[in-house]
Each structure stands twice: as C-alpha cells, then as structure tokens.
C-alpha cells in the first residue's frame, strides 16, 4: 500500500470514528433524543431489533467477515466482490430494524457498512491484478491489527448497548 493511500485511508477512518463519537457524546450531554416523541413500541420488539443489529454489526465487522468467508482458491477481485456483497446483503436483510431504533444509531450502522466497503475497495485497489484472495484477507487483517480502532465496529456496538439499556430501564 502506498504512503498516500495509507494517509487517505487513515484520515477517512479517523474522521468517521470521530464523527460517530462526537454524535453520541453531544447527544448524551444535551439530552438529544428527548425532543423526539417516540411511539409506544413494544419493548420486546425493540430489544429484538437491538439483538439483530448487534448480530449484523458483528457479521459485517471486517475481522469476522474475513474469518467467516474463506478465500481458498479465489482471486482477490472475486473475494473482494464476495466480501462487499456479503456486507450489502446482511445490511439489506436488517433494513426493517431501523423502525425500532434511533435515527442516530441507524446512521452509525450505515456508516459502518459504508466504511467497511470503502476500506475493502481501497485495499483491493492496492493489490496487483493477479493477487490472490489470501493477499486481500492479509491486507485487511494487517490494517486492523495495526490499529484496532480502524473500524467503527466497537463504537456501533457501544451505541447499540447504550440504547438497549435505555429501553430495558424505560428511560
């Protein structure tokens, strides 16, 4: 990966992580969310949505995605397409869950999906045309190992936990 690609990728990741963190920080500090009246949803439906979206978040995390989808015998381009398509399918399968959560948490999940696809595109573009799927999976893991906070994964999980606790306590 070239130095300029690493700098661009790091900048995008840092801005994304910082943006989501600030969103939740100011929301909690200012009590945002209280200005919106939520319909009286059944708590069990809301909690099921948080459970499903936690599973979604785990399934589209890059580390889990690479571990789940074997790169055996594929070219990097094919594997890249498989990873991106898997993220999109997982997300689309859970679209209806946005009805039961805050717009901010749904946006965080959408940002995670978009960020992971962007990272995969950027890493795939650094490989030669003849690169193997294993080369791509190594690049993904190297990036995540270099800085575990590269992904919004943990921030999204924390946001889901926070809101689920709010539902459970009736806050």
The DSSP output letter for 74 is -
User: Could you report the per-residue pLDDT of 110-157, keeping only the tens digit for each?
Assistant: 999 999 999 999 999 999 999 999 999 999 999 999 987 778 899 999
User: Could you report the per-residue pLDDT of 49-103, keeping only the tens digit for each?
Assistant: 999 999 999 999 999 999 999 988 999 999 999 999 999 999 999 999 999 999 9
Predicted TM-score (pTM) of the model is 0.77
The DSSP output letter for 101 is S
Provide the domain limits for residue 54.
3-169
What mean pLDDT value characterizes the chain? 85
Sorted by sequence, the CB contacts under 8 Å of residue 9 that are 6+ apart come out as 1, 119, 122, 143
Rounded CA separation 89/7 (Å): 30
The DSSP output letter for 80 is H
Number of domains making up the chain: 1
DSSP letter for each residue of 112-150: HHHHHHHHHHHHHHTS-TT-BHHHHHHHHHHHHHH-GGG
- Token look-up 């969310």 returns 33
Rounded CA separation 171/169 (Å): 5
């Amino acid at each position: 990966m070239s130095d300029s690609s690493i700098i661009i990728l790091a900048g995008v990741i840092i801005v994304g992580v910082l943006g989501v963190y600030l969103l939740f920080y100011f929301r909690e500090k200012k009590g945002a969310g209280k200005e919106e009246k939520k319909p009286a949803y059944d708590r069990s439906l809301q909690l099921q949505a948080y459970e499903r979206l936690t599973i979604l978040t785990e399934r589209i995390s890059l580390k889990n995605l690479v571990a789940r989808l074997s790169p055996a015998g594929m070219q990097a381009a094919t594997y890249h397409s498989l990873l991106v398509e898997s993220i999109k399918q997982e997300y689309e399968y859970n679209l209806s869950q946005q009805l039961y959560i805050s717009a901010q948490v749904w946006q965080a999940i959408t940002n995670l999906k978009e960020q992971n696809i962007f990272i995969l595109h950027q890493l795939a573009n650094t490989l030669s045309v003849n690169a193997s799927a294993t080369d791509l999976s190594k690049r993904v893991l190297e990036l995540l190992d270099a800085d575990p906070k590269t992904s919004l994964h943990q921030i999204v999980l924390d946001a889901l936990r926070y809101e689920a606790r709010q539902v459970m306590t009736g806050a």
